[in-house]
Homo-oligomer: A and B are copies of this chain.
Amino acid sequence: MLSISLASSVPIHDQLVAGLRGLIAEGKLVRGDELPPVRQLAADLGINLNTVARAYRDLTDAGLLASVRGRGTIVIATVERAAGPKAEERKRVEAGIAAALSDAKIAGFTREAIEAIAVRQIERLWKTP
C-alpha cells in the first residue's frame, strides 16, 4: 500500500507523509481507519521505527492523524471540510503545482501530455464513486 525509495534525495519520513496524504486524499484511508503500528510498518519497509513515528507525528501535528500511546494511530482527517481552504494553503498548493508544471515544461512535455496527466489525476482524486 505504501512504498518508499531509499535512493531518493527526499527524506523517507517525507515520502511516507506524501504517501499517506495520497491515500487519504484518494479515500483509501478514511476517518477512523487504524494505521499499522510503527514497528510493523518500519519492518515492512525495512527502515527504523523512529522514521515511521516521525511521519505519524508530522501528520498528527497537521491534524490528519491521532496517536495514543499503547493503542495505536488512526485517521481523523475528513476530506470534505466545512470551510474552504485558507489563503496560506492556497499559496502552498499553487506553488507546488507551479513547481511540478515548470519541471514538466522543461522536461519537454507538451501541453496535451501534461493536460492529460493532470486531468487523469484530478479525476482519480476527486471522483465521486
Chain A interface residues toward B at CB < 8 A: 18, 21-22, 24-26, 64, 77, 79-81, 83-85, 89-90, 92-94, 96-111, 113-115, 117-118, 121-122, 125-126
A117 vs B126: C-alpha distance when bound (angstroms): 15
- B18 contacts A99, CB within 8 Å? yes
- B122 contacts A93, CB within 8 Å? no
A113 vs B85: C-alpha distance when bound (angstroms): 10
Contacts known (A93-B109, A106-B25, A126-B114); A101 close to B121, Cβ less than 8 A: yes
- Oligomeric state, in copies: 2
- A85 contacts B107, CB within 8 Å? yes
| Partner pick for A106 among B79, B97, B106, B114, CB 8 A cutoff | B79
- A109 contacts B122, CB within 8 Å? no
A63 vs B114: C-alpha distance when bound (angstroms): 22
Query: Distance in Å from the Cβ of A12 to the closest Cβ of chain B?
Result: 15
